[in-house]
Amino acid sequence: MDVVSQKTLNGRSRTSTVKNETEWDSLDWLKSAKRLIEWVVALSPSTNVLLMIRHSHREVINNHAAQLSTGLTPTGCRMSTEFGSKLPTNRKTRIFFSFVSRCYQTADEIVKGFSSRGGSVEEFETLSILATPEIRDQSVWHELQPDGMNIDVFINRWADGEFDDKIERFQDYESRLKAELFDRLAADDAGSMHIHVTHDLALMAAKRMFLQREIGAQDREPFLGGIGIRLSDGEARIFLGGEEMEFAHHGLSTNKSYRRNNQGI
């Protein structure tokens, strides 16, 4: 049989699968993603887990006009698929993502890889909070370099109240982030996995929120990198930089009625 025609159950060729695995093993920017995968695979299947990840590989963004239109590179698509193929498939899985094209593409490719291993996704939806906070004055984006190189400085200034006349207060964003992401996980069935595909902005804001300190350039995640949260027996822990730690989660709800009362979110 011609090697190109040898298909896996989901239609991915064996040759493309081998190529993706080779790329996955060799790309340096996947170190954080690999740590997340290793961590979630090792967790007890009864633990509720959340992965909040940055979208996959894209080209450099040189101007604000390209922020919404810049999608993934072919490498970014392939590595998103590979990421999905390495996730555990024995969990009720929901995927949420920013409406910006590169996040949708990342989420869609994750589903392809996940499905190729027999995984099933129960929910696949956009969440506006994963794209941006509420903006009052678009000129606030002039404070942020288009490719996000000063994202740490921007987040710290935002948290310190410098942009309150132009953007949602950081403390209000914190409250919404906890409710729409983490309370949602706490209210789900035991053993659920939620994957949130987002941008630098939301990830760095989450780090500032949970680490309760100013963030620096070293806190910026590479493509497909991010943070993990696990909830089990009333305990909540964060996985960050290859380590698990306790984190400030004041106000984190375990209200099981969350999903029923917030289906419209």
Position 21 in a domain: yes
**Which domain, by its residues, includes 208?**
11-261
Tens-place pLDDT, residues 232-259: 877 889 999 899 988 655 445 444 444 4
d(CA 243, CA 70): 32
Distance CA 255, CA 159 (A): 28
Q: Which CATH number characterizes residue 143's domain? A: 3.40.50.1240
Q: Stretch 84-99: mean pLDDT, rounded? A: 97
217 part of a folded domain: yes
Number of structural domains (the chain) is 1
Tell me: pLDDT of 90 over 60.
yes
The answer to whether position 255 is within a domain reads yes
What are the Cα distances from residue 189, in Å, to 66, 164, 223, 231? 39, 37, 29, 11
pLDDT in tens, 177-224: 988 887 899 999 999 999 999 999 999 999 999 889 999 999 999 999
